[in-house]
Structure 1
Amino acid sequence: MLPYILLLVLLISVVFVESFSLGRKAFWLPALFLIFFASIRSSSVGTDTVNYTYNFERSLNSMYYDFNNGMELGYQLLEYIILTCTDNYFWLFLISSIVVVLSYLITIKKLSINYFYSIFIFITFGFYTFFFNGLRQGLAMSICFLGLPYLLEKRIIPYFTVVFIASMFHISALIMIPIYLLVNARFRLEYKVIACFIISILASQVLIGYLAQGNKRYEHYTQEVDQAGGYITLLFYSLIGLVVYFSSKKNRSENIYFNKFEQIFLCGLALMFPIALLGTDPSGPQRILYYFTSMCIFLIPYILKKYN
C-alpha cells in the first residue's frame, strides 16, 4: 500500500505546484510517473496478471504462438508482436500503460472543469489500477474513455470507430454503442434510467449465459459465489449517484457535458443492479460497471464546485 500512497502524494503535489506556479495543467510528468509505476510491477501484482505474463515467462517463441478464437484479436496481435521482439513482459506492461495512462489524461485534461480533483479521483477510485488486474478490459475501457469527446459532440462515426477498436481488446466495450444512442435520445433522464433497469432485468441473465456459452473465459461469469455481487462497490457508487442526481438540477439543464456524464453514470448503475442481484461472480459482468463509474472523474468536480 505504501508505494501507492507515495505515488498519489507525488502526483497531486506535481499537479498542484505546476498549476499554482505556472498556471497550467501538469501532463507529461504525471504521465511518466504513472506509466513507469505500472510498467515495473511484478507479475504477482494483479489477480489476472499471471495469465497475461504466462507466454513471456515461459519464453514462448512467436513462431509457435497460437491465436485463440476465444480471445479478442487486438490483444493477441499486441502480445504476438511483442513476443517477436522480446520475452520480457515489462514491454507488455509498458505499452499497455502508455495506452491507458495517456488515454485517460488526455481526456481528463480536455473535459474536466477541475484537473486537480479529476486526477485525484482517477487514482484513488481505482480507475488507474484497474488494468493491473484486468489488462484487456483496462485497455478497452481507456480507449472508450478517449472516445468520450466524440460522444459529447455527437460524432457518431469517429465514436463507433473508437469503440470498435476497444472491442478488439475486450468485447465488453461494445456496451458503449447503445450508450451513445441512449444518451443522445431526447427523453427524460428518469425514463432512461428506468428503461435501463427493466431491460437489464429482462436480458442480463440471458446475455451473460450467451457470452459464457462456448467460451471458457466467460464461463465463471454465470457461476454463483458465496460472496458475490460486489455490493459494497455498487452501494458506494449508488450513494454518489444519489448525491449527483439530487444536487445537480441546474447543471443538468445548463451544462450539456454534465448532462451526458450524468446520464452515462446513472444509466450504467441501473444496468448493473440486476446483474449484481443475480449473485454471479463479481469479477465478471460487474467489471463493466467501471465503464460508467469513470464519469465520477468529471461529475464530482462539478458537485464540489457547487458547494464551494
Structure 2
Amino acid sequence: MLIYIIFLILIYLMLLLGKHKIVKGLDFYWLTYFFVFIFSAVRFDVGYDYTMYYHLIEGDIKFLDDQLNRIAFLSRKLVILSHDIGFTQFFFIVSSFLIIFLFYKTIRKYSLDFSLSTFIFICFPVFFFQSLSVIRQYMAIAIVFYGYRYIKERKILPYFALVFLATMFHKSAFLALPIYFIYGNFFVNKKIILFLYILGFFSSNLLGFLVGQLSETYAIYINGRITGEGGNLILIFFQTMGFFLLPIIYSIKDRNDKEYNFYLLCFYIGLLIWTSLSKYGQAGLRGGLYFISFTILLIPHLKMKVKQYYFIRQSVFVICLAFFFLNLYIGSKHKIKDPNMPYQTFFNKKVNDLKPNE
C-alpha cells in the first residue's frame, strides 16, 4: 500500500509544480505522465491479466496457438516479438508507453483542467488501473481517445484510419466508429439524454442479443464463455453522476459548444452500454469504455458551464482519492489474487515469482 501512497503524493506534487511553474525549464506535466509510464512499464504481476500475458509470451500456456490466433494482429505480433527477443517485459513496456503517451497528449491538448483530468485518469478504477489488466483493449481505447483531434477537425479518413489501427490491437475498437458522427451533429436535447439514461436500466436483453449477433468478439462475454466482475460499485457511481448531471443539462442549453455536447452524449451513450450489459460481467464496461473515456474531459469542461465549478472540482478530487484507495482495498479482498499488491518491478523476477491466477 505504501508504494501507492507515495505514487499518488508524487503525482500531486508534480502537478502542483507544473501548475505554478515553480521550476523554470522543466515541464512537470510531462514529467507526471513519464513517471506514470515508468510505474506501469516496469511493473511485475500487477494487473489481473498480467500472469496470462506473461505465460503467453513465454509460450508455456495451454492451447498456445489457439490463444495467439484469437488475438488481434498487432497485439499478436507484439507478443511474438517479445518472445522472439527473449524479453517478456517488452510487451508491457510498449503497451504502457502507447496507453500513457496517447492519453497524455489528448488530455494536455483538450482538457480545461489538466490536474483534475489527470487525477480522474489515475484514480478512477476504469481508467489507469483497468489499463494494467485489459492491456490489449486499452491500447485500442488510447488510440481512439487520441483520435479525438480528428473528430474535432472533421477529418473522417484519419479518424477511421486510427480506428482501423485500433482494431489491430483489439477487435472491439470498431464500436468507436459512430463516435465521429456524434460531434457537431447533435444538440444535447434533455429528453434524449433522459431517455438514454433510463433506457440503460431496461434494455439488457435487447442490447445483449444485438451485441451477441453483431460482434463475435463480444459474443464470448454475452454467452458467458468469459466471465468477470462488471465493476458494479464504480457503475453505481457513474449512474449517480449521470443522475446529478441531469439538472445541469436541463439548465444549460448551448448549441454552439460542440465539445460540451459531444462529451455529454459520449458519457450517456457509454453509460447506456455499460448499464445495459452489466449483468453480463465485463461486456458492459468493455463496450462502454470507448465512450466513457471522454468523462476525463467532460468534468473539467464544466468549468465553463457552472458557477459552482470550484465545489465540483474539490468534490471530484475527494472522490478520486476515495476510489483510488477503495480500489486497492477491494483488490486485496479478491478471492483469487490481488491484482495490485504487492507492487513489484520485473528486475530479477522469474516465472516462479508470479502469483497463481486461478
Trace 1:1-308 onto structure 2 (pairs within 5 A): 1-20=1-20, 21=22, 26-43=28-45, 45-58=46-59, 68-86=68-86, 88-126=87-125, 127-186=127-186, 188-190=188-190, 192-193=192-193, 194=195, 197=199, 203-210=206-213, 219-223=220-224, 229-248=230-249, 249-250=251-252, 252-276=254-278, 279-280=279-280, 282-303=281-302, 306=306, 307=308, 308=310
Contact 2:182 2:262 in 1 (8 A): no
Letter in 1 for 2:223: T
Contact 1:262 1:299 in 2 (8 A): yes
Q: Which has the higher contact order (CA 8 A, sep 6+)?
A: 2
Displacement after TM superposition at 1:118 (Å):
0.9
TM-score computed with the length of structure 1 as normaliser: 0.83
Q: 1:132 to 1:186 in 2, by over 3 A?
A: closer
Q: Which segment drifts farther, 292-301 or 99-108?
A: 292-301
Unmatched segments (≥5 aa) in structure 2: 311-358
Q: 1:6 to 1:207 in 2, by over 3 A?
A: farther
For 1:55 and 1:186, locate their aligned partners in 2 and report how far apart those are by CA, in whole Å: 44
Q: 1:268 to 1:206 in 2, by over 3 A?
A: same
TM-score computed with the length of structure 2 as normaliser: 0.73
The answer for the alignment partner of 2:356 in structure 1 is none
Displacement after TM superposition at 1:2 (Å):
2.9
For 1:221 and 1:80, locate their aligned partners in 2 and report how far apart those are by CA, in whole Å: 29
Unmatched segments (≥5 aa) in structure 1: none
Contact 1:118 1:301 in 2 (8 A): yes
For 1:252 and 1:15, locate their aligned partners in 2 and report how far apart those are by CA, in whole Å: 31
Displacement after TM superposition at 1:7 (Å):
1.2
Displacement after TM superposition at 1:254 (Å):
4.6
Contact 1:212 1:221 in 2 (8 A): no
Contact 1:19 1:25 in 2 (8 A): no
Displacement after TM superposition at 1:188 (Å):
4.7
Larger helix proportion, structure 1 or 2?
A: 1
Q: 1:274 to 1:18 in 2, by over 3 A?
A: closer
Displacement after TM superposition at 1:155 (Å):
1.6
Count of aligned positions: 298
Q: Percent identity?
A: 26
For 2:3 and 2:75, locate their aligned partners in 1 and report how far apart those are by CA, in whole Å: 28
Displacement after TM superposition at 1:183 (Å):
4.2
